Chains A and B, each alone.
Chain A
């Protein structure tokens, strides 16, 4: 079965994001600028991660 996935984006009658103040823009959920070249801070944060921390990480089984 192939279900068509072309779904029209609906107008959002309900906006879960707070109404913007006078100095803010937009009204719906903000789509992040992931294409931004400004990845330096994140890469810096990622480089600080101990490469072995997952190997050491141990938990008891939970639910």
Chain B
């Protein structure tokens, strides 16, 4: 086996370190993505809250804690109609608002 020159070794070390840095960045980016399993579980939780609220006809301003998320439920009267309500769900991760959902429900 032949030994490689110093320049060759340096270049290869540089390339490998660049690859390691780039791959670490990509992996950390993917792993820390906002679309992880808990995010989808939080979305499902919104569906569950929505269905239960509509079934029981209980609509009130409320915060729900779910893992690292906070689901904020806001109830706003819809365009002067007393029987229609706009339900607004906001998912917060820390202070960051990561998703908003709107839904119109009937009070009666």
Partners in one complex: no
A residues in contact (CB < 8 Å) with B: none
